[in-house]
Amino acid sequence: MMKKLLLVFILFFTFSHSFAEFNDGTVTKFVEFNLASTTNRGIERYNTLYSVEAGFISRWLDGLAGVQGYEDAFDCTIATVAWFPFTSWQFETAQISLGAGALYHFERYKDISSEHDILFDSTFRYQNARGWSISFRGGYSFKKTKVDALSRYLSYLDTGFPTMGMIIDKVWQNGFELYFEHALHDLYRYPHFACPHYTLGAAVNMDSGLRLGGDVSMRIVDQYTTSPYVDSLIFKMTARMSF
């Protein structure tokens, strides 16, 4: 499995990451490795998830490629965001940008199902020189699911629903970072509407370009309806190298 992950990582190396920095026109590339552990919640309980992402961050274009896998499932995500010059406002100590993005996600659960997700959205981002970054995004997603047990009778199940999310990130001058995300999907899981997740994390950014961090993520099913419950609780450690 790890050999397959590394192979896909090499093929996708030219894509980028969604955490945008206060960019001065330079191009920043990075690679990131993640190790996550699920708890006794949800269908993916008691599993260790391995993932790797790679990409670059530039002034007018961000992108992303990543893969995740464990014994029973494999995921691949490719995404990009364009920041338009005519919707970007640069101030002395801050920047406001409007952009549009697209994302494709593939997931395979062994002996259960295959899934394709296509997402289009727009993004509002505020950044300042003090290390604050706030992003809001909203759009629409399309899902095609093939269930192995029904494949003889039905090729794909087609659904579509709105998607949205918010990220608040703060980096101090000493390199310490705190971030919070509330969204209807994460990088590798795209449930149906009304199943948002909450992520709270911290990291240390070193002068060498190395970033070490960790976070906890909780997904709540049917939060906006009548019977919400915690479906997923995941602890993750990350190591990212930027250059």
pLDDT at residue 7, as a whole number:
41
pLDDT at residue 11, as a whole number:
37
pTM for this entry: 0.87
Output the six-digit token pair for 231. 């479906």
pLDDT at residue 17, as a whole number:
37
For 110-142, how does the pLDDT look when each residue is reduced to its tens digit (9 = 90+)?
Answer: 999 999 999 999 999 999 999 999 999 999 999
What average pLDDT does range 206-226 have in this prediction?
91
Q: Report the alpha-carbon distance of residue 101 to residue 95 in Å, rounded.
A: 19
pLDDT at residue 40, as a whole number:
86
Mean pLDDT of the residues in the chain: 88
DSSP3 helix / strand / coil % (the chain, rounded to 5): 5, 65, 30
Q: Please tell me the least confidently modeled range out of 22-26, 73-77, 194-198.
A: 22-26
What average pLDDT does range 147-153 have in this prediction?
89
Q: Could you tell me which of 53, 41, 42 has the C-alpha nearest to residue 12?
A: 53
pLDDT at residue 23, as a whole number:
56
> At residue 21, does pLDDT exceed 80?
no
What average pLDDT does range 39-49 have in this prediction?
88
pLDDT at residue 227, as a whole number:
79
50 CB-side CA count, 13 A? 11
Whether the Cβ atoms of residue 199 and residue 184 lie closer than 8 Å to each other: no
Whether the Cβ atoms of residue 59 and residue 83 lie closer than 8 Å to each other: yes
What average pLDDT does range 53-75 have in this prediction?
95
Q: List Cβ neighbours of 147 (8 Å cut-off, separation of 6 or more).
A: 112, 113, 154, 157
- Produce one character per residue of 160-169: b if its CB has 16 or more CB atoms within 10 Å, e if not: eeebbbebeb
Residue 25 banded pLDDT, cuts 50, 70, 90: low
Find the helix or strand (DSSP H, E) in which 150 lies.
Answer: none
